[in-house]
Chain A
Amino acid sequence: MTTLRVKDDLLLQVEKPARYIGNEVNSVKKDINKIDIRFAFCFPDVYEVGMSHLGMQILYYYLNQREDTYCERVFAPWLDMEQKMRDNNIPLFALESQEDVKNFDFLGFTLQYEMCYTNVINLIDLAGIPIWSKDRNEEDPIICAGGPCAYNPEPLAHFVDFFYIGEGEATLGEVFDIYKKHKKEGGSRREFLEKLLDVEGIYVPCFYDVHYKADGTIESFIPNHPRAKSKIHKQIVKDLDKTYYPTHAIMPWIQTVHDRVVLEVFRGCIRGCRFCHAGIVYRPVREKSKEVLMKQASLLLKNTGYEEISLASLSTSDYSELEKFSEELLEVCRESKINISLPSLRIDEFSLDLMGKVQEVRKSSLTFAPEAGTQRLRDVINKGINEEDILSGSRRAFEGGWDRVKLYFMIGLPTETEEDIEGIADLASKIVDVFYEIPKENRAKAVKVVVSSSCFVPKPFTPFQWEPQNTYQEFMDKQYFLKGKIKRKQIQYNYHDAIVSSLEGMIARGDRKVGDVLYAAWKSGCRFDGWSEHFDFEKWEQAFKDTGINPAFYANRRRAYDEILPWDHISVGVTKAFLKREHEKAMKGEVTPNCRQHCENCGAKRFNGGICYES
């Protein structure tokens, strides 16, 4: 039995102590004496959130395939535990060995959302490692980060020693090989980081200098080392069928957000929704074959004992073999009494039929994501769904016994007018009408339409990266306006406080200066900012004041096409020219076909794989 880093009496004083004990079923155990590289994989959120994250599980097993490496997990201790750790001088430790990560070779953060950045800083601090990259010395671990938010690494550039751009499976192996050799030969921390300059997809911020103009925009971003690349290209795995995929999953001790087998069907998305960050940065679409999926599904179910499997992808309906694959999977699952959950399906005849078969009827309501209230605005954002699709889908669903429809919208999209917002209420109302048009005997008794609106956050590497975000006040006014337009009692309107989205909007397109705000906010006690009960905007406001940084400069300002953007040195494959073209088309309300209909030469062909080369 591993000795726990935290004594029993302390563990019994915190919520859900099983978050901190490690040694879960299917976790990896290794003999530390036979290990060259110790890697602490840090998910900067609480255990039940991090354990639900598929990418972390894939990379965990991938890295542990190496005999010379031990990859262990670290999650952000919940606030009660952080207090106990600080009071009792217990530094951050890894779950597997229960040893302090300060003595590891690497800390690797996965950055899934901006609102966890104060947690990143907090974890570094809890580990007893200097927070600023420049203050670290030879004894300290190397701190790296990757994940979708790393495509704009700049807000964290002062805290992270290097970023891996793209999929960890495609870059970290080479980094480890170099590190092992480096350690054997002996050499300084700086020398190691210099060696990384030759690795594709690795960005080492300290080898670049940023100069700003008087107005705060970037004057120049230039390497200060002869070997530093002027562009860092995202690295990805080309063929998912041939890529390592874990046959196990760590079984969390406590209930997590997604407590089931999660099977990744494909990466990327064929649809070019213009607001969607994931839709661009994960290009090109790479599918797994049905055969590989079936094999992975049965192995994962067998090795976990989970009673449910969920298909993961940005838009499962676009999987080219969905019909055959779902048939086979249904067959297997029916026999072994496994539930299937199918998020991100487009609502049409086929998917309704499928949902009926997997018996989700009683479980969930039907979900549409029109994102905008009028066809005009849906064309602007290139959301290829029209009113007729939604109404006919709803009709079929109501006839099939569903009595609840959920609609997701965004407010604050570029070019939005009052008419577009009113359109949200109209659409919801039309769905209610559709329900009552159906003869009584063929439908449920009552209907509920739930409208949820989120606040649009312009993201880097999207056609809207140059667009100003609405201000907090604008968001609030629009929500209020929409609330007033929703009158029927069958419609429920949900919205949340726009303040978190405003902050997210600022950080998402931030430059290196934003790091100072993050630090100041952390210093004043900000943690778990993505959790509304812990989000404290007053502290952030104070941080803006103290650092002299104006959030509106980042969130609410329109950028010119020729402005140097903080993430311009990163390449996700999709070119700036394509994004610009898409932005211009958006302004004209012109739609762009999806990758399967017509290739628009977005730039993702450079990866030599995926959908771009399918005929």
Chain B
Amino acid sequence: MKVRLKFTKIGHMKFLGHLDLQRLFQRCIRRADLPIEYSKGFNPHQHLYFALPLPLGATSEGEYLDMNLTSGVEPQEIKNSLNAFLPEGITVQDVYILSNDSLVGMAAVDAAEYRISIDKETVPSNFMDAVNNFFNQKEILAEKRGKKGIKEISIKEMIYKYTLDENDKQWMIYLVLAAGSKANLKPETVIEQLYKNNGWEYKDYRIHIHRINIFSRINNEFLPLSD
């Protein structure tokens, strides 16, 4: 039985890296005694398929984890038994049963939506114009650090949507970006480039990234992985 969990990673759990999160889930799944499928051979280990790693420091209300169970368990029971062992900040919100032919893990991912919050006092007053100018360029180039050093890539076509919002204290940039194994754009790449183009000093600990959801493209429509 293929199942998909939707969970949050908020509060202090933002200080957990992706590998730490994996280990945490493995152990909670064991404690919850779920009939998860193990690899064969030496040192059997659980097959866990996370949709998209979240960088340390970011929070999320829409993370996904797929796994295979060797016998049927009610979604509600999976959710309750895991939540009994997961720490504060990581909560399974929903459990979905997938059809046998559905793509799992990163293979199912095409896009992700983020909210990037920036304290107003850390940026100049022309922030709104600067942001609009940046995203309205015909072509947006960004530096990407790869194995072969830094190279310039064009990112405009990987930014599916952007909006800007604000409250008293913060600017909030909402982005829908390409994600997954075919094309992947990290929100920090976009924001760093925005800062660079404007000559502002970029410090990753001053911006806060929050993932809202992760999507699959089905018939040219972005649907949350939960659908």
Q: Which of B31, B38, B204 contacts A303 (CB 8 A)?
A: B31
Please indicate which of the listed interface residues B24, B28, B204, B205 has the most CB atoms of chain A within 10 Å of its own CB. B205
Q: How many interface residues does B have (CB within 8 Å)?
A: 30
| Residues of B close to A24: CB separation below 8 A | 87
* Contact B27–A306 (Cβ < 8 Å): yes
Residue A184, interface by CB 8 Å:
no
Residue A359, interface by CB 8 Å:
yes
Measured between C-beta atoms, what is the minimum distance from A2 to chain B in Å? 8
* Contact A9–B206 (Cβ < 8 Å): yes
| Residues of B close to A361: CB separation below 8 A | 42
| Residues of A close to B12: CB separation below 8 A | 1, 4, 21, 23
A363 to B41: give the CA distance in the assembly, Å: 12
* Contact B205–A13 (Cβ < 8 Å): yes
Nearest B residue to A9 via CB reads B205
Residue B149, interface by CB 8 Å:
no
Task: Give the segment of A128-136, A250-258, A433-441 that binds chain B.
Answer: A250-258
A606 to B204: give the CA distance in the assembly, Å: 61
| Residues of A close to B17: CB separation below 8 A | 18, 254
A12 in contact with B57 given A23-B12, A253-B20, A255-B20 (CB within 8 Å):
yes
A363 in contact with B42 given A18-B20, A305-B29, A305-B31 (CB within 8 Å):
yes
A21 in contact with B29 given A1-B88, A12-B57, A305-B85 (CB within 8 Å):
no
Tell me if B's interface is mostly helix, strand, loop or mixed.
helix
A25 to B13: give the CA distance in the assembly, Å: 12
A25 in contact with B204 given A4-B12, A255-B20, A255-B23 (CB within 8 Å):
no
Measured between C-beta atoms, what is the minimum distance from B21 to chain A in Å? 10
Please indicate which of the listed interface residues A10, A306, A337 has the most CB atoms of chain B within 10 Å of its own CB. A337
A362 to B15: give the CA distance in the assembly, Å: 34
Measured between C-beta atoms, what is the minimum distance from B33 to chain A in Å? 9
Residue A304, interface by CB 8 Å:
yes
Q: Which of B20, B26, B42, B88 contacts A362 (CB 8 A)?
A: B42
A23 to B11: give the CA distance in the assembly, Å: 12
Q: Mark A290-318, 1 if CB is under 8 A from B, else 0.
A: 00000000000011111100000000000
Residue B43, interface by CB 8 Å:
yes
Chain A residues 262 to 283 lying within 8 A of chain B, measured CB to CB, are: none
* Contact B44–A337 (Cβ < 8 Å): yes
A304 in contact with B42 given A1-B11, A255-B20 (CB within 8 Å):
no
Measured between C-beta atoms, what is the minimum distance from B56 to chain A in Å? 8
Chain B residues 1 to 59 lying within 8 A of chain A, measured CB to CB, are: 11-12, 14-17, 19-20, 23-24, 26-31, 38, 42-45, 56-57
Residue A17, interface by CB 8 Å:
yes
* Contact B15–A21 (Cβ < 8 Å): yes
Q: Which of A4, A12, A259 contacts B205 (CB 8 A)?
A: A12
Contact-size category for A:
20 to 34
* Contact A337–B88 (Cβ < 8 Å): no
| Residues of B close to A339: CB separation below 8 A | 43
Chain A residues 324 to 369 lying within 8 A of chain B, measured CB to CB, are: 337, 339, 359, 361-363
Please indicate which of the listed interface residues A302, A303, A304, A307 has the most CB atoms of chain B within 10 Å of its own CB. A307
Measured between C-beta atoms, what is the minimum distance from A317 to chain B in Å? 23
| Residues of A close to B38: CB separation below 8 A | 337
A339 to B46: give the CA distance in the assembly, Å: 13
Measured between C-beta atoms, what is the minimum distance from A221 to chain B in Å? 49
| Residues of A close to B27: CB separation below 8 A | 25, 251, 304-307
| Residues of A close to B204: CB separation below 8 A | 12
A255 to B22: give the CA distance in the assembly, Å: 11
Q: Which of B11, B15, B23, B45 contacts A11 (CB 8 A)?
A: B15
* Contact B30–A307 (Cβ < 8 Å): yes
A12 to B58: give the CA distance in the assembly, Å: 10
A359 to B42: give the CA distance in the assembly, Å: 6
Measured between C-beta atoms, what is the minimum distance from B87 to chain A in Å? 5
| Residues of B close to A21: CB separation below 8 A | 12, 15
A307 to B85: give the CA distance in the assembly, Å: 16
* Contact A307–B45 (Cβ < 8 Å): yes
| Residues of B close to A25: CB separation below 8 A | 24, 27-28, 85, 87
| Residues of B close to A17: CB separation below 8 A | 15, 56
A304 to B85: give the CA distance in the assembly, Å: 10
Measured between C-beta atoms, what is the minimum distance from A205 to chain B in Å? 40
Nearest A residue to B33 via CB reads A302
| Residues of A close to B89: CB separation below 8 A | 1
A307 to B30: give the CA distance in the assembly, Å: 8
Q: Mark B125-142, 1 if CB is under 8 A from A, else 0.
A: 000000000000000000
**16 A-B residue pairs with CB within 8 Å:** A1-B88, A11-B15, A21-B12, A21-B15, A25-B85, A25-B87, A253-B16, A253-B20, A255-B20, A255-B23, A305-B27, A305-B29, A307-B30, A307-B45, A337-B38, A359-B42
User: Which chain A residues have a beta carbon within 8 Å of chain B's beta carbons?
Assistant: 1, 4, 8-13, 17-18, 21, 23-25, 251, 253-255, 259, 302-307, 337, 339, 359, 361-363
